[in-house]
A and B are shown apart, each in its own frame.
Chain A
Amino acid sequence: MNFVHAGLAIAGLAAVAIPIIIHLLFRQRRRPIEWGAMRFLLEAYRRSRHRMRLEQWLLLAVRCLILALLGLALARPLLSDSALPIGPGSRVVYLIIDNGVASTVTDAAGTTALQRHRQSATAIINTLTASDRVALVSAARPIEALVDPPAVDHAAVLARLGEMAAVHAPADLDAALNRVRESITLRQDDPSPAFVYLLSDFLSGSADLTRPLSARLAIEGRPVTLIASTPAAESVRNVQVTSIDSMRRVALAGATDLSGQFTVRLRRVGETSDEAVTVVRLSAEPLAAPPPATVRWSRGQSEATVDLRLDLRGVEAGEVVVTASIDRDALAADNARFNVLEVREALRVAVLDRREFGRPGDLASYPSGSWFRRALDPGTGSQISLMDLDPASIDRAAMRRLQAAILTRPDLVTDEGWGVLGEFLDAGGLLWIAPSERDQVATWTDLAASRLGLDWRWAREAVAAGEGETDVALADDQPTSELLALLGSELGELIKPVRVARVLPVAEGVEPSQVVLRLSDGSPWMVWSPGGGTRRGSVVYLASAVHLEWTSLPAKPFMVALVHEVVRQGIGHAYQQRSLAPGEALAAALPFGAATLRAPGGEAITILDRDGAARLDRPIAEAGVYDVLDERGAALGRLGVNVEPDAARTEALGAAQVRDWLATSGAWRWLDESATALAEQTTWGEVSLALLLAVLALTLLETILARRFSHGLRRELEGGGLDADRLALTSTIAAGGRAT
């Protein structure tokens, strides 16, 4: 059984406790009455105990039932077909309403597509007879059956329909049809004909016609007809903000580098054959907004990119919500996009290396860890906070405060140490591993792969790079990797002088997309395993020890650029995963301890931890910036929820394409709008009315029972009790003198 107002049903059931609580409270407060004739009272109680108990329980049951039924009546239940006798001539009507983000598109009169769909659905319901049953399914992802099993209470279905709101999630008409098919299949014994109404404008954001319809409504022994609303005849002109990307995921406070630079991408859908102008604004409280950028669309142009730069000087550590927006158009939900930029005072990086006492003799014997330290802190004013940890005893508490760790002596890491590093990765850290210059035979690799969750398999021994040559250069055509994306065109010049003499290669398991740098012989030199699943952090492996006997890298300018880019982009990558889209119910990669998401409107969405994966108690319905709160309500950070650009596409698909797409589902036809335009019905549901009548009858019964059990003696009370007529003998004696 469903309810229009489920909260009222719960409140009604909870109100059952009210008579009991009142009884208990008053029982505590009553003052005892000292009574002389207690022996008669006890005797009377002994004789009447069973009757009184029965009366009291009966009264309590009636009172509780009144409250429970009143709550149920106000909650307006939706009875299933199995609960009421339905005549053989009744029909079953399924209404699928497209309430995805594309349904928020408005026409010239300001009416949204969803409003039109609701009006159509209302008209359909009003044409039904009292014995017809109606189910209601919303098509926005995730699919939700608002009324199912089909109910005969049409007024209650209309009420649910009126409450249906648009969701900024994509519509999934195929999944909605499959949901209806499941419902029909469950009731195969029901011979009633089923009519499935699919109410959508069939814009490109609602239906992916490139994928064939999987739902088959032709069910054996059951007449099912699909009735689809007419597709929109024309595309709707709409400009979308499809992305807003920062040059760095994590910025440093007061940075004057490229951290504040954002790339905003726009897409024009619908009519693109004319020239147009779109103004793009960037805002980030409390920073001053940069001057808006103007995009001048040429004929046929559908995509554009704009670079805007925020001045991050003076910004404090924390999170800055950056919003890229354009002027309102026919579809408002995709006119803004949000990016949460994390700003840090400094990046905390540790070098896991064993310190050697005494000064190194010459550059050739300079240890790997020292090269990294120099690269990370090349001079004054660095915003990288550097610390040293011994790889043989990795401190778990210290690791929790880090964003990145560079391991130059993996040979010294213990089993427990690899476990700590695994936890560090789960928490979102960046781990850079380089072999030790002392490593001739690597015994740590299997343990590392196991503890860090890597598919890589290393070679056992370090080998000379290339085949017979003294040194090997890096390949001229390096793969495009996000890690070194900012180096761009300078990368070629920077890697030219680098020579590699020895490597401890990864023999197996490296996917092409994981290769960051490649040697001229094509073998991977630097590989990167980004986070995924429960592991948020990423692992970078450089196949050579940072030592001049292995490679000339540490003595080249590329060393500083490489270390800084890998550290900063690697840290930012873990942060980048903190984003969600409307319609999602699984919140991956939230901060540790996140318990609630607070929507822009103030509604709270609870995060449920099921089997280690953070699930939401209900899907996200609206795009915007959400606050992430812990169990005590303290802010842990913010989360940008953005509309999927493809879900908001507003191109008309055309009746012919839709016809071909729907044809595979079984028997279907277009909806004739004119046949369904009837007045809206606003009467109460029959079930609620019946419940209210039951409440009235029970109230009368309670009054009668209460008078019978408690107040019925009023007449006798007023008559005077014992000395009125009970002791006729006494009266006789009093009148006649001494008893004889």
Chain B
Amino acid sequence: MPPATPLQTDDYLAPATLARLGAFELRARMIVEGIRSGMHASPYYGFSVEFAQHRQYVQGDDIRHLDWKVFGRSDKLYLKQYEQETNLDVVLLVDSSGSMRFGTLNATGEDATKRIWRKFDHATALGAAMAFLALQQQDRVGMIVYADAVRALVNRSSAGGHWRQIISALNTHPVEAPTNIARCVDQALGKVTNRVLFVIISDFFDDPEQIRSAMARVRHRGHDLILFQVLDRQEMRFDFRTPAPFEGMEEEGRLNLDPRSLRQAYLDILGEHCRTLEKTARGFHFDYQRIDSHDSLGPVLSHFLARRMAQGQRRRG
């Protein structure tokens, strides 16, 4: 059923709008429309043009890359080096573990059926949007859907119909298995040789030490990493009022409790986990962004990309 009022720019990327569309193909189109219609408001320059390091000048080097500011300050000749200036590879890792099935945002579909917008839905929408943006920039994009192991793989490519392949891979369902980020990152690292920007979209409900270990290996190989932590609003608030049994989605068992009496401790532990995750990412100079699955994707994407753009310009400048 079409919406009663014309969609605004932000509406295209809102979970409430996307949830109404049952088929993932339709959602992907809606995401593309949302990104395109939002381009004029948020100038986009791509991920590439990455500053790498300085190197001492040797005879025969192109003097166009001399860093004159360093020469002016230190009277020494250094060259500025850039990596993958035109063709940055992006590999998206989308978590499809059991906990990603959780969601509390209700929406009525076009066919009048009730749908719940899950964290996985939000993650796939975000993945589709990121893939589209990268392909627009002629970057090569690969896709891995994982849980306790790699579940689906799309090799890197920047071909015309590649986005459709990615959409097809994202059109899946989460499994009941727990997350194993370290193992999946290892498997992804084994498939790349050149420098890659990894984008992990997950709730990161995993052992922090394992996550830290995975990030260390990514950094050691010289790759870059962006962490999108997708959480449902209820997970961040835990405002249940009545006692009930809680059942884990990754076979953790069942627990009868009064949520009001446990809320404080739960939020403390979740907060501690998120802080640890963020601190770890910060320690490796990776980007970390926490996303509420009830919020629209547009502001998150544009804000994040604008921040990266400004960062790149500052380094080049």
Contact = CB atoms under 8 A, between A and B. Distances in A.
A721 B263 CA distance: 9
A717 B263 contact: yes
Interface in B302-317: 307-308, 310-311
A37 interface: yes
Nearest to A740: B285
B257 interface: yes
Interface stretch (B26-34, B133-141, B146-154, B245-253): B245-253
Contacts of A359: none
A667 interface: no
Contacts of B205: 36-37, 39-40
Contacts of B275: 727, 729-730
Given A38-B252, A40-B266, A727 B290 contact: yes
Interface string A723-740: 100110110011001111
A48 B292 CA distance: 27
A66 B171 CA distance: 58
A592 interface: no
B252 A722 contact: no
Interface stretch (A26-34, A112-120, A478-486, A649-657): A26-34
A30 B270 contact: no
B256 A27 contact: yes
Interface in A262-304: none
B265 A721 contact: no
Nearest to B300: A734
B270 A722 contact: yes
A346 to B, nearest CB: 72
| Interface-centre pick from A37, A52, A720 (highest chain B CB count, 10 A) | A37
Given A722-B270, A729-B278, A33 B247 contact: yes
Interface stretch (A394-402, A674-682, A706-714): A706-714
B247 A713 contact: no
A30 B261 contact: no
B238 A721 contact: yes
B204 to A, nearest CB: 11
Contacts of B102: 34-37
A34 B247 contact: yes
A34 B310 CA distance: 42
B121 interface: no
Interface string A36-52: 11111111110110001
Contact of B282 (A27, A32, A739): A739
A490 interface: no
A721 B254 contact: no
Contacts of A34: 101-102, 247, 249
A33 B246 contact: yes
A709 B259 CA distance: 11
Contacts of A32: 244-247, 254
B267 interface: yes
B267 A722 contact: yes
A649 B102 CA distance: 89
| Interface-centre pick from B99, B238, B243 (highest chain A CB count, 10 A) | B238
B262 A710 contact: no
Contacts of A56: 258
A716 interface: yes
A39 B244 contact: no
Contacts of B264: 713, 716
A55 interface: yes
Interface residues of A, number: 43
A47 B268 CA distance: 11
B285 A710 contact: no
Contacts of A30: 242-245
Interface stretch (B9-17, B35-43, B193-201, B229-237): B229-237
B311 A36 contact: no
B237 A41 contact: no
Contacts of A48: 261-262, 265
A35 B311 contact: no
Contacts of A26: 243
Nearest to A725: B271
A45 B267 CA distance: 12
A26 B289 CA distance: 41
Given A35-B246, A40-B269, A739-B287, A717 B262 contact: no
B263 A36 contact: no
A32 B249 CA distance: 12
A709 B235 CA distance: 21
A642 B249 CA distance: 78
Contacts of B267: 721-722, 726
Contacts of B105: none
Contact of A40 (B119, B239, B273): B273
Given A30-B243, A45-B262, A36 B99 contact: yes
B307 A738 contact: yes
Given A44-B269, A729-B275, A722 B236 contact: yes
B150 to A, nearest CB: 21
A738 B307 CA distance: 7
B265 A47 contact: yes
A37 B292 contact: no
Contact of B261 (A38, A43, A709): A709
B286 interface: yes
B55 interface: no
B271 A35 contact: no
A738 B236 CA distance: 23
B261 to A, nearest CB: 5
Nearest to A728: B275
Nearest to A712: B260
A710 B260 contact: yes
Nearest to A719: B237
Given A34-B247, A36-B205, A42 B252 contact: yes
A717 B236 CA distance: 11
Contacts of B4: none
B279 interface: yes
B100 interface: yes
Contacts of A42: 248, 252, 255
B203 interface: yes
A38 B246 contact: yes
Given A32-B245, A34-B247, A729-B275, A52 B258 contact: yes
Nearest to A714: B260
A43 B265 CA distance: 9
B78 interface: no
B269 A721 contact: no
A713 B240 CA distance: 11
Contact of A716 (B240, B242, B257, B263): B263
Interface string B273-296: 111001101100111111010000
B113 to A, nearest CB: 19
Interface in B80-106: 98-102
B255 A721 contact: no
A521 B2 CA distance: 128
A727 B98 CA distance: 25
Interface of B: 98-102, 119, 203, 205, 232, 235-240, 242-250, 252, 254-258, 260-271, 273-275, 278-279, 281-282, 285-290, 292, 307-308, 310-311
Given A33-B246, A37-B205, A737-B307, 19 more contacts: A27-B256, A32-B244, A33-B244, A35-B247, A37-B99, A37-B102, A38-B252, A39-B250, A39-B252, A41-B257, A45-B257, A717-B237, A717-B263, A722-B274, A726-B267, A729-B275, A730-B290, A738-B307, A739-B285
27 contacts: A30-B242, A30-B244, A30-B245, A32-B246, A34-B101, A36-B101, A36-B205, A38-B249, A39-B248, A44-B265, A47-B265, A48-B261, A55-B261, A711-B260, A716-B263, A717-B263, A721-B237, A722-B270, A723-B236, A729-B278, A730-B278, A733-B288, A737-B310, A737-B311, A738-B307, A739-B286, A740-B285
| Across the A-B interface, the 6 shortest Cβ-Cβ residue pairs | A36-B102, A38-B248, A721-B237, A739-B282, A36-B99, A44-B265
Interface of A: 26-27, 30-45, 47-48, 52, 55-56, 709-711, 713, 716-717, 720-723, 726-727, 729-730, 733-734, 737-740
